[in-house]
Structure formats: structure tokens, C-alpha cells
Chain A
Amino acid sequence: MSNKHSNWFEFVKGIAKENPVFIAALGLCPTLAVTTQTINGLAMGVAVIFVLFFANMFVSLLRKFIPSTVRIPAYIMIIASFVTLVSLFLQAFAPDINRALGIFIPLIVVNCVILGRAEAFASKNTVSKSLVDALGMGIGFTLALTLIGLIRELSGSATITLQFAGLGKIFNFGQPILDDPNIVNVTTLIQNPAVVMIMPPGGFLVMGILLGIFQNSQNRKAEREKKRKQELAKAAKAKANTQS
């Protein structure tokens, strides 16, 4: 079945229909821990895209070489190598992101999204399809994390941090903070941000509400499908009755 779908389908499914965070609820640990600032969510997402891309590439390349009994340890080792690479790159070129993401960088190894795609897709598909799948899932993951980070940061500290390796600024929408060249005081939209939002309870809460929203749309879709099938069945039955 996977051979029949076009490359575009494989790419888009990771973003919407099978979004790893909101639909499949995978990779939850970094999702909640890292999204205290928008840029952190974005950076973690990009790191995951990198690892996903190369892990899928190598798992697919070696899929005939790795025996099934040891496939999980093999996949984990491949993933761990690229995670180490990411960690080294961050240490060298973006130390502040490295510090902000902390132990969740090595924890990318056990991110269920990456292992899940390797096991479910890359081990059974061609390299090109696996790469497309990796990009789609990775971008879906990144969008989810950036969204959560944006919501939490804005409501929790009234800022939007878009600063990476010294470039970019922090946009402040709360009480003006003086004397810091990195902060751009836009306006005071939010007088007293709800600090709890950038703390663990806030993370769980935002995730719960977003999951509820997505589950609602899934339910509605399923109901519409059901109704459509019922209408078709009724019409077929009516036709059969009139004919007999």
C-alpha cells in the first residue's frame, strides 16, 4: 500500500493527518519540557528533523542488511550516532540553545517519533520515500512544538523569544524590561502573565486542551464518515426496495 502513495502524500501526512504530537501522541517528553520558549521548541524540532532525516536514510539503506531480531538495537545505535552529532554541533555553534535544551538533546535518542518512523516506515520503504516521510513528520513535529512554545511563552512570560546564537531578539509584550539590548519592548499587552504556564502544570494543561481540540475534530470527521456511510446504505436499500 505504501508504494501506491505519492511522495507528496507521504510528506503532507506527517504535518496534518498523522501529526506525531497531536494525533499519535508520540515524543511527549521533549514536547512539554522544552516549550517554555518559542525558540526552544523550534530548535528542538529542527534537531529532530536532522536526526529523523539521517536515521531514516540509513535505516532504509541498511534495511536488507539488518536482521530482524536485532533491528531495534541497530536502529537505536544509528539514531544515537546522529543525536551525538547534533549535540556536538550545538555545543560548537549554538551554546545558548545547547544550555536551554539541556538533557533533552541526548534524550532525542529515545524520542518515540524517530524510533517509531524507523520501525514503521523506513525499514519497509525505499530511501527516497523514507526521506520524504522523515521531512513530513519532522516538520509536523516542529510545527507542534513551536505552537505549544508560542502559547506557553506568551501566556506565561509575555514574551516571544526568537533569538538563536546571538541573532534575533526577544519580543516583550508585558511590563517593559530595561537595560537589556536583547529585549525589544513592543507594547504592554499582558500586565501580569500567568507564570504557571511556563512551569510543568502549564505544559500539561496546554497539551491537554490542544489534544482535546484535535480529538474533537477527529470525532467530528469520524461522525461525518459514519453519517455518509449510513446515507449510502439507506439509498442503496431504498433503491433495492423500489426495484423489488
Chain B
Amino acid sequence: MKYYLKTIFPLVAIAVFFSAMLGVSYYFLEPIITETQRREEQDALRMVLKEASEFSAVTNDAGFYYEALDSEGGILGYIFREVTIGYGGEVVTLVGITLEGTAEAIFVLNADKETPGLGYKITERAWQNQFSEISPDRIPLSKAQFDSYGFEAITGATISSVAVTKSIAQAFDRFDLIVSEDNDGGNDE
């Protein structure tokens, strides 16, 4: 019995000591981690609606989205975080739509599962910029539509490209939901 205690005790002592050390470290690091995460989120949101001074997260019937506010708290537009299926997995895109109903900009948050060098190119800003001011009735959702509507899909990566445009379409659908909920909206698409 004493043998078992002698071997187990150091193990338990080490476990307790190091767990405590970690607990203390976490206590001090946790606020920094939360702040870093918040800042990352804000930076990403700012990529999509530059003039906004702050963002507030909202969840209602139209789902989860962000309201982009100016310095007085007035709504400049909405930002939607859309998840679509690309070639290798999920693609997460932020779509910013102004109050007037025009697409301001998009930003692909996560395309890690797409093929590097091909589908992953949807993360290039230059490619994403072509979708600013896109009209909701002319969103290309197939290779043919890319050609006819005058947009450029990534060569050899149509599926990844369509994943992004699908998220734009989804964002507009949700925008319509929000607008129709405002009784005195009157915003047209």
C-alpha cells in the first residue's frame, strides 16, 4: 500500500501544482484573449463597411447579423456572416449591405478548406472587389451566369467562386427580411 502511495503521490502533486499554475495564468490572460477576439471581429467587420464606427450584434427572426452604426448610433447598414459549402468544406463570407440596399463590400473570413492556389484565391481582395455595388437580381450562381452578368469566376475554381456568390444572395434574402419587418421601411431593393 505504501508503495502505491509513494508512486501516486508525486504524480498527483505535479497534477495539482501545474493545474493551479494554469488556472492562475488563465485568470490573467483571459481578459486579453477576449479583447483580442473582439478586436479581430471588429477588424473583419470594418473591412466590409468602412465608415462605421461601431457594430452591434443582433439576433431576431432574420437570424444573427450585425448592425453597422455611425458615431451617433444611426444605422449605416447591415453585415451578414454567411456560411456556404465550397469545394472542400465550409466557406465563411461577410457581406455588407447599406441601408439603401446596395452591396458595399464582401470579405471572405474563412476558406481554409479550399484548394490553395485555386479555390483559396477567393480570399484575394482584388477578386472580391468586383462584387461591390452588385445588384441583387444579377448575382451569378453558375459559370454561365458569371459570363453573362460580366463577372469573373476564379479559373478552374467555379465551385469556390459560386460559394461566395451564394453567400451574397443569402445575405440579400436576409436583408429583405429585415427590411420587410420595418413597418415604415420603404427601402427598395
Interface residues of chain A, those whose CB is within 8 Å of chain B, are 36, 62, 65-67, 69-70, 73-74, 77-78, 80-81, 84-85, 88-89, 91-93, 95, 156-157, 177-180, 193, 195, 198-199
Is the CB–CB distance between A198 and B117 below 8 Å? yes
Is the CB–CB distance between B32 and A93 below 8 Å? yes
- When A and B form their complex, which 10 residue pairs have the shortest distance between CB atoms, in order from nearest? A195-B117, A81-B18, A179-B126, A92-B32, A179-B125, A92-B33, A178-B126, A67-B7, A91-B33, A88-B29
Is the CB–CB distance between A36 and B116 below 8 Å? yes
What is the predominant secondary structure among interface residues of chain A facing chain B? helix
B124 interface contact, C-beta 8 A: yes
Is the CB–CB distance between A88 and B26 below 8 Å? yes
Q: Contacts A70-B7, A81-B19, A177-B124 known; list 6 others, CB within 8 Å.
A: A70-B8, A70-B11, A91-B37, A92-B32, A156-B116, A198-B117
Q: What B residues does A85 contact at CB under 8 A? A: 22, 25
B187 interface contact, C-beta 8 A: no
What is the predominant secondary structure among interface residues of chain B facing chain A? helix
Is the CB–CB distance between B117 and A157 below 8 Å? yes
Distance to closest chain A CB from B94 (angstroms)? 16
Can you spell out 11 A-B residue pairs with CB atoms less than 8 angstroms apart?
A: A62-B14, A70-B11, A74-B14, A78-B14, A81-B22, A88-B33, A95-B40, A179-B124, A179-B126, A195-B115, A195-B116
Most chain A Cβ neighbours within 10 Å, of B116, B118, B124, B129: B116
Closest to B124 in A: A177
B2 interface contact, C-beta 8 A: no
Interface residues of chain B, those whose CB is within 8 Å of chain A, are 6-8, 10-11, 14-15, 18-19, 21-22, 25-26, 29, 32-33, 36-37, 40, 115-118, 124-126, 129
Is the CB–CB distance between A74 and B118 below 8 Å? no
Q: How far is the CA of A80 from the CA of B117 in the complex (A)?
A: 35
Do A177 and B126 form a contact, CB below 8 Å, given A67-B10, A77-B18?
yes
Q: How far is the CA of A77 from the CA of B16 in the complex (A)?
A: 10
Is the CB–CB distance between A179 and B33 below 8 Å? no
Q: What A residues does B116 contact at CB under 8 A? A: 36, 156-157, 195, 198-199
Q: How far is the CA of A156 from the CA of B117 in the complex (A)?
A: 8
Which of the residues B6, B8, B36, B126 comes within 8 Å of A91, measured between beta carbons? Answer: B36
Q: How far is the CA of A65 from the CA of B17 in the complex (A)?
A: 14
Which of the residues B18, B19, B117, B126 comes within 8 Å of A180, measured between beta carbons? Answer: B126
